[in-house]
Structure 1
Amino acid sequence: MLLRRYAYLIRKPSPFNAVFLVPQVVLQADALEMHTDLNVGKYWGDMEVDFWDDAKWKQEIDKYEVLVMTPQILLNGLRHGFFKINMIKVLIIDECHHARGKHPYASIMTEFYHRQLEAGVSDLPRIFGMTASPINTKGVNSADSYWQKIHELETIMNSKVYTCVSESVLAQFVPFSTPKFKFYQDMEIPYVLYAHLVQELNVFKVKHECSLDNLDLEASAAESTRRKISKIHSALIHCLDELGVWLALKAAEYLSCYESEFLMWGKLDVFGEKIVRSYSVDAFHAIGACIPSDPDWTIVNDVKASVDAGFLTTKVLCLIESLSEYRVLRDIRCIIFVERIITAVVLQSLFSELLPKYGNWKTKYIAGNNSGLQNQTRKKQNEIVEEFRKGMVNIIVATSILEEGLDVQACNLIIRFDPSPTVCSFIQSRGRARMQNSDYLLMVKSGDFSTHSRLKNYLTSGDVMRKESLCHASDPCSPLSNDLCDEEFYHVASTGAFMTLSSSVGLIYFYCSRLPADGYFKPTPRCIIDKQMGVCTLHLPKSSPIRTVCVKGNFKSLKQKACFEACKQLHQIGALTDNLVPDIVVEENDAEEIGKESYNDDQPIFFPPELVNQDSQESMTKYYCYLMELKQNFGYEFPVQNIILLVRSQLEMEAKSVGIELEVDRGTLTVNLKYIGLIRLTSDQVILCRRFQIALFRVLMDHKAEKLTELLSDLTSGNNSEINYLLLPSNYMGQNPVIDWLSISSILFSYEKVWKNHVNCNAGMIQTKSGLVCTCMIKNSLVSTPHNGRTYIIDGLLNNINANSLLTLSDGGVMTYKEYYEQRHGIHLCFSRVSFLAGRHIFPVQNHIQSFNLLLFILQNPVTHL
């Protein structure tokens, strides 16, 4: 109705628009298109609107009359100067009770609306906010405190609250669910079982936290891992207390399998992730040991017996019994609200086993991503809601994410498994039951008079808020307090782009996210705060034109000040455009418009200075040595050997060591890189190392002896190298890693020298095509077979097999090896009594860049690979 009233102001070609801010874009936009004849544009995060430029937004603004979007999109658009507040004639804000603190609703009003209002600008949008409860905080328990919160909302929205006299008036148009209290007796799980498991979990927690000390991680990375362990530990203890041993087992199982990203200064912290997961696995085995091992036992066999044993709690039993009371309903649609994500996850596991006996009810869960304990996408959540709407899903276990924006007319039951923390949460969750004669069950522990009283106050809060709003209906809105709109800001006059201390943090993270990255590195800023000195140093990735920014000031705002100063400097040098957008985003948009090819990972565009020849004329060359400790996480008869990396400049490593995990054919290989000291090499040693490195790479890449022979015969090989780093084999002298000079010197192999050095050796000689070789040198050597040009690694001699030994053919025939080689390959074996060599193929080198690109292509073009 409101949009119809103002439609004449926004009809195209009018330069004005109406903007509708909502949490669920598609739902509200569809309603607008159904009930108005206005052109409606829809915008949400998955459309990648963060990367749209001024020209793209101008097209949308000129095309559509009503723009439906999430509040963050409008806030970003205003901050970048893509939108102007005075181009909006009507601003509709759904769930406007969020307009407080640093929420996008509040930022839109304080940064743009109120600044213009104080400047005397009159051409501002009409504000229409909608909410079921204007109060969204805890601790409100009197009429005066209710009015204070309502007045704060009116002030920031520059609007007055309008409401009905009573709930009965609304009930004529909107169904209200019937509140019912469900009380359950609190019975703890057996103490011996509980104490045993808590002690086990505590031991595991200490064990894995102590293991961090052996990894030599940076303090911030170790602390981050400790916090994750503590979070998982807390979740498991909570499950034991509130849900029972069986659901705690399900929680440990989920957490031990959950894939997440542990980031440490832009790099994947593999060791931290493994320790966290290892804790979850240990917890899973410890809890699982307390569950009956009988394969025929299930949690649903006897629920009450499971409660007595401590596998389930009486609270969970109350929930099961409450649901069973509604099994007569043919088409139940129920939402169970819980406080924690892990509770939602494990209750779905329980109901998936239990509820089919009540009529094939299907259960799914929906939870937010803020805690980092799950990675459910918005698309997946929308799919579940749509299944719920169609009746394909009967029960959703949800956190507060579903308290707002969900409109399923068939929803007939709401259960508050955990009590609402605020009056707004109470009213919003109650409102999800849209069907006539629906119920709103409130689970309360018997004897918990405080919670019972609080929920009863929530039931009457609607009447109190209506009364207070009507009593103050004639009071004017108060001006916004100075502390809400006096935040330091940076303004670009040419575009209207606007940045505050608060918004600069998000902007600097967005800028870094657009810097060059790949599947193994994510550029992020890093902030170091010295509390004693009151100094904050912001470190930006190497690919940023500004590397560090240092500021002093109030401890509470130090990080914001550093990001604010960094953004100003980036804008001043052109790394941020006049719209305060990374210039990289602009270049990408231009490339799309002119059809430019996307970046190719295979192009060797940049070499780090640490790896490039510095053209030193010194007789002794200084190298920084880094040990690459290799640990194979799979069984194989041939062990890996550590490698030493030599570079001319010291690497900028924040931690004393850096760990990564590489995928190989048989499993994973853990690599730990750490600095071990300086070394000085003569020019001859450098050339020797280069020749070894070149020869090694040539063999691995080609597997052909001809090219290796050409390389070794070129005496200038290794004299000239633009890329001046060395990857060399390592062994140990005592406890200290050293360069394996014996292996490196093998590149100087000479038949003449070998013969002279082994004249008196008792091992005996073996004849090769190129000359005699002592058999003691055969093991771990490279041997080429001329008839096929292949190169093999030799593991030793086959003492019982020679040219006269019998070979069984595939057709069952038998002949000697000598006969076989002469008939098959035309080779005459002259030394028929000499033992054969035990050889194996050289490992094939995997090109993971190409395989990654192939996988990416298949994922992007699934139809062509069915």
Structure 2
Amino acid sequence: MEHSNPEMGLTGLDHSPEKTQSPPNPNHFIPRSYQVKVFEVAKRKNTIAVLETGAGKTMIAVMLIKHISEDMIKSNGKRKLIIFLAPTVNLVTQQFKVIKDSTTLEVGEYYGAKGVDEWSRSCWEMEVQTHDILAMTPQILLDALRNAFLSLEMFCLLIFDECHRATGNHPYTKIMKEFYHTSGNRPKIFGMTASPVIRKGVSSTMDCENQISALESILDSQVYAIEDRAEIEAYIPSTVQTCRFYEKAWLLMNLGLKDEMEALWSKYASMLELQREVPSQYQYYQDIDDKIKMLRKRMSNDYMKILYCLNDLGLICAYEAVKVCLENAFEVEEEFQFYRGSSLKLKYFLDEVLHIIEGFLQSCMQLDNNICTDFEFDYIKAHDLGYISPKLHELLQIFQSFGSGSQVPCLIFVERIITANVIERYVKKVPCLSHFTVSYLTGSNKSVGALTPKLQKETLESFRSGKVNLLFATDVVEEGIHVPSCSCVIRFDLPKTVRSYVQSRGRCRTSESQFILMFERGNKKQIDQVFDIIRSEYSMTETSRNRDPEVCILRDCNFEETKAYYVNATRASVTADSSVSLIHRYCEKLPGDKYFIPKPTFDFEISEGLYQCKITLPPNAAFQTTVGPLSSNTHLSKQLVCLEACKKLHEVGPWMIIFSHLSKSLQKMI
């Protein structure tokens, strides 16, 4: 939900502390005048609403939903649905609740963790029959459209939350490119954003105009922003932006440690490289080389994480980083010695790094026994001796400035998952900060250490309810997440784009909130970076506000023709973009055993500057090889040969029959 001033009752949408636990009665919602202005424009034409975070964009969407549902779902006699798209699972869950609480319509929510990826046509038909609004992540809709389980003709309104993401290869862009712009019966579009410009910055007013025009073209909509700022500013909580400076890290004492770690890394990397020369008795294990490559990459990633923490956070946090990596290390359950020995080398490497760092910390304890006991540290002494970085020390000073009895709800944005994880652990061990409850939140991607959607939801709810008051987070909560009580946001790692700056500042939700940017003293590059972002934000705001919708004509959306294969019977489609993952999924369904993991292999040839890719499928696939057309680069040539393979597989026999047969075969083998 969006934020409004608690003193304004239910105008715009009330979020006073007494009412955050139970949603307001939708019949009592009184829109603000600027919300009505945006709503009236959105009724007439496809619109991208550009309003600050906290201005109530979601409730404008609710107003439009109610209007559309009355005019198009009921009165026309033709039942059409509304789609609400949000780019993250957290946002889908949040917006689903807002719509459900604010309307009398039947609302469903859909994302990968609910098993939607495996649904059949009949599953989607049931959802369409029993719901008026479908709230989902864009990839879910894109997949359902490609499989012809859903079609845009079923919908009367398509809402894009955080619509600035409709650029590049984002699913928002693909939905518009592959389906909307090729459709003869298009639904109405409503987009919402606080930052229609998403690059690092804008070089000129013309550059800003071009970025906004490109977004309008993709979404077939026009940007609309309120010119009169007076009323909006009365509702949006004021934020005090401050800068905190820390000294440059003194790294001389860590040079010896770095040399030892680098030597250790080289030793284990060489050992893994030697193991790629497979002994003759293991030649029938066909995936050994891939496993060794994967282990080496994992070891390299862990080494870089530890090194990053050593440089950015200090020795104590590097120690915590090793422990995190050990906890996330592979469970060694391999059936034979060669695999097991290779997998254990990652653990042995981390154990030795841990032992080296412990040696350095032991020397610290010998200098002063009061510095650490079971690694519960006096952080000021630890900083004075160089065992935590000046940057981390400054952050802890900010926390201490909140006061010993304070329960300030504070979001701390960091760039990396390992940073969030490690600082959270360290803060819990600092006695003078024990009155704070600390946690961390990351996205649910495939990165090591990422949280599941369930854990994300639980952590976010704990922060909203006040059970957690210091929350370290990656950019997963930059966009749209509403925490009414959040009164402080700290950018431990500085934002790199206008979008990141605007969105993270927008998490401040109380009057006189603090937005703190942390700079290294004397670092001109950091200062110039943030200055460019602030200048770009001003340019973006002025350009959006001063655009004349009568003069600004939508540019034609000129996409390259999508390379795709269509199934005539169902109009399901496979694009070059989606074909690679489909081929991998097909191979995963083929029977395999401990000696053999079925997967495709790719070989490239270059001729006169053009690339051609040959795909080889496992021996038990429907066919073995095919060659794709000449392409301008290896990435495209791989996509196109996979598209050819998908077409060939469908000609051999319907995919779902093949998959069903293989699943039964696997069950019999088990």
TM-score bucket (shorter structure) = 0.7 to 0.9
| Counterpart residue type for residue 464 of structure 1 | S
| Counterpart residue type for residue 308 of structure 1 | D
What aligned pairs does 1:154-233 form with structure 2 within 5 A after superposition?
154-165=216-227, 169-189=231-251, 191=252, 193-215=253-275, 216=277, 220-233=290-303
Find the aligned partners of 1:583 and 1:43 in 2 and give their Cα distance.
Answer: 27
Residue matched to 1:668: none
Find the aligned partners of 1:381 and 1:438 in 2 and give their Cα distance.
Answer: 24
Residue matched to 1:112: 179
1:251 has 2:315 as partner: no
Find the aligned partners of 1:212 and 1:479 in 2 and give their Cα distance.
Answer: 54
Residue matched to 1:861: none
Find the aligned partners of 1:349 and 1:262 in 2 and give their Cα distance.
Answer: 26
1:327 has 2:403 as partner: yes
Deviation, structure 1 residue 112: 0.8
- In structure 2, relative to structure 1, the CA distance for the partners of 1:545 and 1:112 (3 Å cut) is same
How large is the RMSD of aligned CA atoms in angstroms?
A: 2.8
What aligned pairs does 1:611-690 form with structure 2 within 5 A after superposition?
none
Residue from 114, 127, 152 that aligns with 1:60: 127
- In structure 2, relative to structure 1, the CA distance for the partners of 1:563 and 1:261 (3 Å cut) is farther
Find the aligned partners of 2:377 and 2:545 in 1 and give their Cα distance.
Answer: 56
- In structure 2, relative to structure 1, the CA distance for the partners of 1:453 and 1:494 (3 Å cut) is same
Find the aligned partners of 2:69 and 2:210 in 1 and give their Cα distance.
Answer: 35
Deviation, structure 1 residue 261: 8.2
Residue from 569, 572, 582 that aligns with 1:494: 569
Residue matched to 1:48: 115
Paired residues in the alignment total 578
Find the aligned partners of 2:596 and 2:512 in 1 and give their Cα distance.
Answer: 55
- In structure 2, relative to structure 1, the CA distance for the partners of 1:214 and 1:518 (3 Å cut) is closer
* DSSP-derived class of the 2:105 partner: coil
Residue matched to 1:133: 195
Deviation, structure 1 residue 460: 4.7
Contact 1:10/1:18 (CA < 8 Å) preserved in 2?
no
* DSSP-derived class of the 2:571 partner: coil
Find the aligned partners of 1:520 and 1:214 in 2 and give their Cα distance.
Answer: 21
Find the aligned partners of 2:620 and 2:546 in 1 and give their Cα distance.
Answer: 60
* DSSP-derived class of the 2:344 partner: helix
- In structure 2, relative to structure 1, the CA distance for the partners of 1:522 and 1:335 (3 Å cut) is farther
Residue matched to 1:566: 645
Find the aligned partners of 2:654 and 2:352 in 1 and give their Cα distance.
Answer: 48
Residue matched to 1:402: 477
* DSSP-derived class of the 2:472 partner: strand
Find the aligned partners of 2:592 and 2:666 in 1 and give their Cα distance.
Answer: 12
Find the aligned partners of 1:368 and 1:171 in 2 and give their Cα distance.
Answer: 32
What aligned pairs does 1:361-372 form with structure 2 within 5 A after superposition?
361-368=436-443, 370=445, 372=447
Find the aligned partners of 1:82 and 1:345 in 2 and give their Cα distance.
Answer: 40
Residue matched to 1:83: 150
Residue from 541, 550, 557 that aligns with 2:627: 550
Find the aligned partners of 2:134 and 2:346 in 1 and give their Cα distance.
Answer: 44
Find the aligned partners of 2:539 and 2:458 in 1 and give their Cα distance.
Answer: 38
| Counterpart residue type for residue 427 of structure 1 | V
- Per-residue CA deviation, residues 204-223 of structure 1 (Å, 9 max, x unaligned), is 11101110233125655544
| Counterpart residue type for residue 582 of structure 2 | L
Find the aligned partners of 2:592 and 2:488 in 1 and give their Cα distance.
Answer: 48
Residue matched to 1:435: 510
Deviation, structure 1 residue 371: 6.4
- Per-residue CA deviation, residues 525-578 of structure 1 (Å, 9 max, x unaligned), is 33343457944232334543233333352223121012111111111122425x
Find the aligned partners of 1:11 and 1:113 in 2 and give their Cα distance.
Answer: 24
Find the aligned partners of 1:514 and 1:138 in 2 and give their Cα distance.
Answer: 42
Residue matched to 1:380: 455
Range moving further from structure 2, 287-296 or 67-76: 287-296
Find the aligned partners of 1:509 and 1:11 in 2 and give their Cα distance.
Answer: 44
Contact 1:110/1:485 (CA < 8 Å) preserved in 2?
no
Deviation, structure 1 residue 515: 4.0
Residue matched to 1:830: none
Find the aligned partners of 2:189 and 2:491 in 1 and give their Cα distance.
Answer: 33
- In structure 2, relative to structure 1, the CA distance for the partners of 1:20 and 1:429 (3 Å cut) is same
Find the aligned partners of 2:167 and 2:392 in 1 and give their Cα distance.
Answer: 36
- In structure 2, relative to structure 1, the CA distance for the partners of 1:468 and 1:240 (3 Å cut) is same
* DSSP-derived class of the 1:76 partner: helix
Find the aligned partners of 1:243 and 1:543 in 2 and give their Cα distance.
Answer: 51
Higher relative contact order (CA closer than 8 Å, sequence separation 6+): 2
* DSSP-derived class of the 1:74 partner: helix
Residue matched to 2:40: none
Find the aligned partners of 1:576 and 1:234 in 2 and give their Cα distance.
Answer: 42
* DSSP-derived class of the 1:572 partner: helix
* DSSP-derived class of the 1:527 partner: strand
Range moving further from structure 2, 208-217 or 93-102: 208-217
1:10 has 2:68 as partner: no
Contact 2:227/2:546 (CA < 8 Å) preserved in 1?
no
- In structure 2, relative to structure 1, the CA distance for the partners of 1:129 and 1:272 (3 Å cut) is farther
* DSSP-derived class of the 2:489 partner: strand
Deviation, structure 1 residue 248: 0.7
| Counterpart residue type for residue 67 of structure 1 | L
Deviation, structure 1 residue 342: 1.1
Residue matched to 1:540: 617
Deviation, structure 1 residue 306: 1.1
Deviation, structure 1 residue 340: 1.2
Contact 2:628/2:640 (CA < 8 Å) preserved in 1?
yes
Find the aligned partners of 2:226 and 2:66 in 1 and give their Cα distance.
Answer: 23
Find the aligned partners of 1:76 and 1:10 in 2 and give their Cα distance.
Answer: 25
Identity %: 31
Residue from 453, 467, 490 that aligns with 1:415: 490
More strand by percentage: 1
Residue matched to 2:382: 306
Residue matched to 1:150: 212
- In structure 2, relative to structure 1, the CA distance for the partners of 1:519 and 1:35 (3 Å cut) is farther
Residue matched to 2:83: 19
* DSSP-derived class of the 1:161 partner: strand
Find the aligned partners of 1:342 and 1:494 in 2 and give their Cα distance.
Answer: 49
Find the aligned partners of 1:583 and 1:449 in 2 and give their Cα distance.
Answer: 60
Contact 1:161/1:473 (CA < 8 Å) preserved in 2?
no
Contact 1:184/1:315 (CA < 8 Å) preserved in 2?
yes
* DSSP-derived class of the 1:495 partner: coil
Contact 1:160/1:473 (CA < 8 Å) preserved in 2?
no
Deviation, structure 1 residue 387: 1.1
Contact 2:589/2:662 (CA < 8 Å) preserved in 1?
no
Find the aligned partners of 1:43 and 1:108 in 2 and give their Cα distance.
Answer: 16
Deviation, structure 1 residue 454: 2.9
Deviation, structure 1 residue 521: 7.3
Residue matched to 2:36: none
5+ residue gaps in structure 2?
Answer: 1-62, 279-287
Normalising by structure 2, we get a TM-score of 0.80
Deviation, structure 1 residue 168: 5.0
Residue from 309, 315, 335 that aligns with 2:391: 315
Which is greater in Rg?
Answer: 1
* DSSP-derived class of the 2:244 partner: strand
